[in-house]
Structure 1
Amino acid sequence: MEDFISRFITTTDGLQLHVRDYAPLSGGASRLPVICLPGLSRNSRDFHPFAERLSKDTTTPRRVVAIDYRGRGRSSRDPDPTHYNVGVECGDVLAICDALGIAHAIFVGTSRGGLILHIMATLQPERIAAAVLNDIGPEIEAEGLRDIRDYLSRQTAPDDFEAAADHLEAVHGTAFPALTRRDWLDMADAIYVEENGRLVADHDPALAVPLQAMDFSQPLPTLWPQFALLAQKPLLVVRGEYSKLFSAKTLARMKAQEPNIEITTARGQGHAPLLHQPGLFERVEAFLDDY
């Protein structure tokens, strides 16, 4: 038996969006729900261990909703790849919240998900009760974004999930010394899906198109004004110890600009940290328990 319910919501442009809805154990219905927003090419499966633990907590269980953006996981692919942008995806997240009757929630945004939260803070700040930014801020490093572009542009098709775990560890292992073999296998299960007898990444390959069109010789856009709005809410910022996308310098500037934000480091992890890892989960859960 699954620990969640799969729900499908139709967007205004006719796409079907999928979410995993983890119901809390008895007593958690009165607590604010947690909405989990994954990274650029990732999906709701990334949050499964995290969502399970939050929804099954014996003292403070709560509802957790993990989203597949358009073109990821079980959501429909968009025939227009220009729609794979944070503005459209923010609109999708708000539409999902409306469809599920969620007017006020805690949001956990990993990478792309955190950028979406910056936009949401300008459009519907009242929706956000508190937020966690997982290895993302208002300024990102070109080196890290180029790495993501290059990784997405290489289409890999491992023979099986063991081979997929091997591949992921070979590519990302130096940035994630804290992960075990079980973690790499879980990551492979979250990233890949079987299609016509082979494993493929569970996202629309067209996601790479906007990145391939970027001019990395020019400064990347920043979101400092939007961050100032988001930081008016209770905010925990997580940075991976070995992250190339989210620099320690940017984190320090965020803290200097908005001293009330909370910060923590995901030791032994790069971009983007797994929030269910020992030590980090407890830190995030303690933040959530205040709201």
Structure 2
Amino acid sequence: MPMSERSFLGLSAAGFHPVAYTQWGRDDAARTVVCVHGLTRNGRDFDPLALALAGQRRVACPDVVGRGRSGWLPVPALYGYPQYCADMTALIARLGVEEVDWVGTSMGGLIGMTLAAQPNSPIRRMVINDVGPFIAKAGLQRIADYVGKDPVFEDLAAVESYLRFVLMGFGRLSDSCWRHMAEHSARRRPDGRYGLAYDPGIAEAFKNQPMDDVDLWAVWDRIQCPVLVLRGADSDLLTAETAEEMTRRGPGAKGNVRVVEFPHTGHAPALMSEDQIAVVRDFLLDA
């Protein structure tokens, strides 16, 4: 399937910045899917899913600003959901469509929820991967303990070893999946060694406010589109209780929410194995 690396300019209070995205499938596909990654990740995490969808959909997988091939903001305090939502709105405009389907992992799911809750939202169907409208501070603290660090690695094997540890919640992945993530999660440093492909400044939001539970039920209650909620059975970010409550409130009150739980997985299902891809593909193509 056709795959290309593209970019556009986003705008923050500090000026313009490049936002990179990978596109799979044809420009004239009947529908478009936008896949948005988690806090420290990048759009290439979705390569296996995008490839599975590209025969029937155009799939755009952005690197949220500060990650992957996208630019870094000169003022770390600007990293946050208002900026992320503005950039994703610009991406939808660049794609030239009035509707999109959304797949969001963790941070990407929260961006999707925020956009889907707005009046006249362009999001038609949404997959939320291991995040919800209530996040306990214990899960946030675990992420805060490693995000923003800037370790240095001698080679890609060391990068892969690090990712296998900090992302163990992704579940039982093949060696080729871990290698793929390492290749796209590393940036080459001037000294020839490797760093992680994200701006350590994205951790600014964790440093400047007290760690507490996050309650976004008011956002969830405004969403009207059908939602597929994915949960790792061992997740500390999306509890079983919150996932169940999501089926009763907001779009769930109208029977528009389905929850699927994956065993032997924490935060967050990687969406790289065939069983996980099949669940997402069936939901998106069923409409």
The TM-score normalised by the length of structure 2 is 0.91
**Do the aligned partners of residues 107 and 186 (structure 1) sit closer, same or farther apart at CA in structure 2, a change above 3 Å counting?**
same
Whole-angstrom CA distance in 2 between matches of 1:227 and 1:86: 16
CA-CA distance at 1:167 after TM superposition: 2.2
The equivalent of 1:281 in structure 2 is: 277
Whole-angstrom CA distance in 1 between matches of 2:179 and 2:206: 28
Q: Aligned partner of 1:244: which letter?
A: D
Question: 1:110-121 counterparts in 2 under 5 A?
Answer: 110-121=105-116
Within the candidate set 25, 29, 37, 1:23 is matched to: 25
CA contact 1:43–1:69 (8 Å) conserved in 2: yes
CA contact 1:70–1:89 (8 Å) conserved in 2: yes
CA-CA distance at 1:207 after TM superposition: 0.5
CA-CA distance at 1:268 after TM superposition: 2.0
Question: 1:240-251 counterparts in 2 under 5 A?
Answer: 240-251=232-243
Please identify which structure carries the higher strand content: 2
Secondary structure at 2:112 match in 1: helix
The equivalent of 2:186 in structure 1 is: 192
Which ranges of structure 1 fall in alignment gaps of 5 or more residues?
none
**Do the aligned partners of residues 125 and 114 (structure 1) sit closer, same or farther apart at CA in structure 2, a change above 3 Å counting?**
farther
Secondary structure at 2:5 match in 1: strand
Whole-angstrom CA distance in 2 between matches of 1:96 and 1:260: 26
Whole-angstrom CA distance in 1 between matches of 2:119 and 2:91: 14
The equivalent of 2:218 in structure 1 is: 225
Question: 1:196-275 counterparts in 2 under 5 A?
Answer: 196=190, 197-216=192-211, 219-230=212-223, 232-257=224-249, 258=252, 259-275=255-271
Residue 132 (structure 2) pairs with residue 130 (structure 1): no
Question: 1:166-177 counterparts in 2 under 5 A?
Answer: 166-173=161-168, 175-177=169-171
Secondary structure at 2:21 match in 1: strand
Q: Aligned partner of 2:216: which letter?
A: L
Once the two structures are superposed, residues 31-75 of structure 1 have per-residue CA deviations (whole angstroms, 9 ceiling, x without a partner) of: 2110011111211111112112211x4xxx210000111111111
Whole-angstrom CA distance in 2 between matches of 1:34 and 1:101: 12
Secondary structure at 2:157 match in 1: helix
Q: Aligned partner of 1:204: which letter?
A: D
Secondary structure at 2:286 match in 1: coil
Once the two structures are superposed, residues 106-125 of structure 1 have per-residue CA deviations (whole angstroms, 9 ceiling, x without a partner) of: 01011111111121123354
**Do the aligned partners of residues 89 and 171 (structure 1) sit closer, same or farther apart at CA in structure 2, a change above 3 Å counting?**
closer
**Do the aligned partners of residues 170 and 63 (structure 1) sit closer, same or farther apart at CA in structure 2, a change above 3 Å counting?**
same
The alignment covers a number of residue pairs equal to: 279
Q: Aligned partner of 2:154: which letter?
A: D
Once the two structures are superposed, residues 248-277 of structure 1 have per-residue CA deviations (whole angstroms, 9 ceiling, x without a partner) of: 111111113224301101222221211121
Whole-angstrom CA distance in 2 between matches of 1:185 and 1:88: 31
CA-CA distance at 1:29 after TM superposition: 3.5
Whole-angstrom CA distance in 2 between matches of 1:240 and 1:157: 30
Residue 90 (structure 2) pairs with residue 88 (structure 1): no
Secondary structure at 1:137 match in 2: coil
CA-CA distance at 1:155 after TM superposition: 2.4
Which ranges of structure 2 fall in alignment gaps of 5 or more residues?
none
CA contact 1:29–1:62 (8 Å) conserved in 2: no
Whole-angstrom CA distance in 2 between matches of 1:227 and 1:193: 36
Whole-angstrom CA distance in 1 between matches of 2:92 and 2:166: 35
Secondary structure at 2:74 match in 1: coil
CA-CA distance at 1:134 after TM superposition: 0.6
CA contact 2:133–2:217 (8 Å) conserved in 1: yes
Once the two structures are superposed, residues 150-190 of structure 1 have per-residue CA deviations (whole angstroms, 9 ceiling, x without a partner) of: 111432222212222222223443x3552232222222223
Secondary structure at 2:221 match in 1: helix
**Do the aligned partners of residues 200 and 145 (structure 1) sit closer, same or farther apart at CA in structure 2, a change above 3 Å counting?**
same
Whole-angstrom CA distance in 1 between matches of 2:129 and 2:235: 11
